[in-house]
Amino acid sequence: MAGGLNPDAAQPAPAGGRNPYAAQPAGGRNPYAALAAPSRRRILDTIRSAAGPVDARLLAAELGLHVTTVRAHLDQLAEAGLVEAAAGHEPRRGRPRLFYTATRNPDPRDQLIDALADELATDRAVAAGRAWGEDLLRSVPAEADRTAALVRVLDRLEFSPEPIESGLGLRTCPFRESARRNPSVVCAAHRGLVEHIVGGATLRPFVEPELCVVDLPAR
């Protein structure tokens, strides 16, 4: 991306005109959890390298993502305190157009402490998910192969798994709101469950705002 994004003439409101619709930093939210998704890391890197504040449509065009997906990722980055939003001042109906800038980088010492705490929480959640998967397997007929067993377990948990090219798509996560708030715990537990039932399987949370994907090993 040569020279970064070049925002158009519409600019955000001056300081003091903080956007009332923008997601505010959620004090305890770990920025590392917000950056668990590669798409969010790309969005943040693009905002940091831009020549000025940018909106969701510019980011979507630059990164080849759907604008709705970008907005959902921006909300999570804002909740983690990694970006700030300000309303544009051009006249328009409905919600104002939001422009985003990256916040200053956090203290490296705080980053280290957060990273260590997040890693410990993730490791414990994965282990708990594996134990949960073992318990759930007891309700599955012994003759079922592991992929079929995983489908049965996920269906029982109301994930509504559906076949996709790489494995299974999960669009109805019953833990979605909790997972968005605490992905290093909730998504890690689900990853442990999936990996325990099918060796070599992986879970990719929130590849889209309403979609997680289980990648299954080739047969």
* Model pLDDT, residue 81: 86
114 compared with 154, residue with greater pLDDT: 154
Are the C-beta atoms of residues 212 and 199 closer than 8 Å to each other? no
Question: How high does pLDDT run on average in the chain?
Answer: 80
Are the C-beta atoms of residues 216 and 201 closer than 8 Å to each other? yes
Q: Is the pLDDT of residue 16 over 60?
A: no
* Model pLDDT, residue 113: 57
Q: Is the pLDDT of residue 55 over 90?
A: yes
In one-letter notation, the amino acid at residue 84 is E
Q: Which two tokens stand for residue 61?
A: 């065009």
- Indicate the length of the chain as a whole number: 219
pLDDT in tens, 159-209: 999 999 999 999 998 888 888 877 878 899 999 999 999 999 999 998 888
In one-letter notation, the amino acid at residue 104 is R
Backbone φ/ψ region at 185: left (φ over 0), alpha (ψ -120 to 50), beta: alpha
Q: Is the pLDDT of residue 39 over 70?
A: yes
DSSP collapsed to 3 states, 157-189: CCCCCEEECCEEEECCCCCHHHHHHCHHHHHHH
Q: Which two tokens stand for residue 32?
A: 């590392």
Percent of the chain exceeding pLDDT 70 equals: 74
pLDDT category at 32 given cuts 50, 70, 90 is low
* Model pLDDT, residue 88: 77
List where CATH 1.10.10.10 sits in the chain: 1-105
Backbone φ/ψ region at 11: left (φ over 0), alpha (ψ -120 to 50), beta: beta
Question: What average pLDDT does the segment 131-144 reach?
Answer: 85
Are β-strands 83-87 and 162-164 bridged in parallel, bridged antiparallel, or unpaired?
A: unpaired
Q: Is the pLDDT of residue 89 over 90?
A: no
Task: Average the pLDDT over each of 22-36, 126-140, 150-164, 186-200 and give the range with the smallest value.
Answer: 22-36
* Model pLDDT, residue 14: 38
3 state SS of 195: helix
* Model pLDDT, residue 180: 80
Structural class in CATH, domain 1-105: mainly alpha
What DSSP assignment string belongs to 137-149? Answer: HTTS-TTS-HHHH
